[in-house]
Amino acid sequence: MRLAIYPGSFDPITNGHLDVIHRACRLFDELIVAVALNDQKHTSCLFSIDERIAILEQACEGIAKVRVAKLNGLLVDFARACGANAIVRGLRAVSDFEFEFQMALMNRKMEPDIETIFLMPKEEYTYLSSRIVKEIARLGGKVDAFVPACAVRALAKKLSGKV
Ligand code: ADP
């Protein structure tokens, strides 16, 4: 049984994240998409942890191998407790590399038996980030091409102040 964890803040999930999820599902029997309560990269999220989980669950509804979970605490402890063999991360550009490299080596130091696997998305998603999508949505731009429909609806609702 090959089980991997894909951790991230997913604030909200984008088509780039989804692309990485589909690629990981081809390599593993099960994929736990773990939504981080605290993330080194993000000091504050637009969506609460429960909202981010709900959006992810809708986006991954038809993907049988995927389970969505809350990640609170150290990633390697969570991965060990789940019995995971690997951590999946997405690499978009060289700019991602330094942070990802440092984190992968630190995780390996703490848990040598869990491998970090980097997956590259389709070229058209390499410029995509949750941060840029939120920026566009905040300024009134269309984000349908960048995030799944459930995230488009959640962004519209959140930014119109209904949530
Ligand atoms: P972001 O960096 O967009 O704020 P996260 O912290 O949720 O997103 O990222 C979780 C993981 O997904 C990281 O490994 C990140 O590099 C990767 N990722 C984010 N966006 C993309 C994308 N468009 N294509 C591939 N991987 C991505």
**Ligand 1 pocket mutation, candidates 21, 41, 92, 101, criterion most atoms within 8 A of CB:** 92
Do the domain assignments include residue 162?
no
Amino acid in the structure at residue 56 = L
| Long-range pairs of 104-111 with CB within 8 A, sequence gap ≥ 24 | 107/75, 107/76, 110/74, 110/76, 111/76, 111/79, 111/80
How large is the average pLDDT for residues 141-149? Answer: 97
* Residue range 80-132, pLDDT digits in tens: 999 999 999 999 988 889 999 999 999 999 999 999 999 999 999 999 999 99
Do the domain assignments include residue 146?
no
Return the active site residues: 17, 41, 92, 130
Would you state the pLDDT for residue 161?
Answer: 75
Residue 11, domain CATH: 3.40.50.620
Would you state the pLDDT for residue 98?
Answer: 93
Average pLDDT taken over every residue of the chain: 94
**Predicted TM-score of the model (pTM):** 0.93
Residue numbers of the domain that contains 32: 3-126
> For 2-93, where are the alpha helices, taking DSSP H only?
15-27, 49-59, 75-82
How many domains, the chain?
Answer: 1
* Residue range 28-45, pLDDT digits in tens: 999 999 999 865 555 689
Q: Give percent above pLDDT 70 in the chain.
A: 95
Residue 149 has pLDDT above 90, yes or no: yes
Would you state the pLDDT for residue 16?
Answer: 97
Do the domain assignments include residue 36?
yes
Closest residue CA from atom 15 of ligand 1? 90
Distance 6 CA to ligand 1 centre (A): 10
Do the domain assignments include residue 88?
yes
Would you state the pLDDT for residue 95?
Answer: 84
Distance 8 CA to ligand 1 centre (A): 7
Q: Of the given ranges (59-63, 90-94, 116-120, 149-153), which has the lowest mean pLDDT? A: 90-94
Do the domain assignments include residue 150?
no
Do the domain assignments include residue 28?
yes
